[in-house]
Amino acid sequence: MSTRPRTPGHGAPAPGKLPITELAEMKARGQAIAMVTAYDAPSGRLADSAGADVILVGDSAAMTVLGHDSTVPATMEEMLVLTRATTRGAHRPLVVADMPFGSFQVSDEEAVTNAIRFVKEAGADAVKLEGAGTMLSRVHAIVGAGVPVMGHIGLTPQSATALGGFRAQGRTAEKAIRLCEDALALEAAGCFSLVLEAVPAPVATRITQRLAIPTIGIGAGGGTDGQVLVWHDLLGLYDGRSPRFVKRYAELAEAIEAAVGQYVSDVRERRFPEDVHTYSMPEDELAAFEEAVAVTERV
Ligand code: KIV
């Protein structure tokens, strides 16, 4: 169990924490940023020990962890629990909490209140929110309150219905120009970084060149400053169909199913537990116990 103190308020980074300014320096050095989602203490700890720079507690949790069909149902309370668990496990990486649908759309005030909850109650280092346009004033307000904001444009799953489904964005010149404008506007509003999701690679590369802040791509090609993948996709844990931009680095669902299946059959066949899995007691104590039980059975 870690005794590392969390940052009080949102002042200096906790000891060992990657400073948020390091991301811009990584961009300047041409060093790729590795971001991955995580949703609990074990995944946060493993992402940390594997060397991830940034952990996103994504609202993809609504689908990967909570079993919904989209990210829309994720609530503030659910995201707070997941973020709090993740920050207990992850120490070096920056932990970015994804603001769920409905937590920032209504007003700047509500957006600031909810962003601050992620920092104060869950130990997040920053928040992410989807969209540009009317969301620019939210970014400005949250950054003004002292909470770093990561932007997210391209395919924004919370508005997938309005975008015509889970499909690539910015595939016409006009739409690609709009994405460039949104990216520049989010940078000007104060974002420290920007996720580009499901955007043609040349468009994402061009945006990356135009911005001073680092871009993190998912389905946006190799020209962004960093990459992000969803934990369950990367590890082969999600039973839904993964998008084409996912690379599965393991097939853990199969491994888990095989292991649990083995356990079930060992229980049924009484092969588990073995002697090594049980506790013994001194012979004389056992004899006394048997004797006492025998007496109670005789009366
Ligand atoms: O919620 C999420 O996991 C995300 C990533 C796909 C960027 O927003």
Q: What is the pLDDT of residues 11-32, one digit of tens each?
A: 677 889 999 999 999 999 999 9
Is residue 187 part of the annotated active site? The answer reads no
pLDDT at residue number 165: 77
Q: Is the pLDDT of residue 241 over 90?
A: no
Residue from 121, 181, 197, 257 carrying the catalytic annotation? 197
What is the band of 7 on the pLDDT scale with cuts at 50, 70, 90? very low
pLDDT at residue number 62: 97
* Best probe residue, ligand 1, of 43, 194, 195 (max atoms within 8 Å of C-beta): 195
What is the band of 2 on the pLDDT scale with cuts at 50, 70, 90? very low
Give the closest residue (by CA) to ligand 1 atom 4: 58
Give the closest residue (by CA) to ligand 1 atom 8: 58
- Give residues (CB < 6 A) around ligand 1: 37, 56, 58-60, 98, 152, 195, 197, 218, 228, 230
pLDDT at residue number 263: 98
Cα of 79 from ligand 1 centre, angstroms: 13
Q: Which atom of ligand 1 is nearest to the CA of 130?
A: 8
Q: What is the pTM of this model?
A: 0.92
pLDDT at residue number 164: 74
Q: Is the pLDDT of residue 6 over 50?
A: no
By the 8 A CB rule, do 171 and 224 touch?
no
By the 8 A CB rule, do 227 and 35 touch?
yes
Q: Is the pLDDT of residue 5 over 80?
A: no
pLDDT at residue number 13: 77
Mean pLDDT, residues 200-218? 98
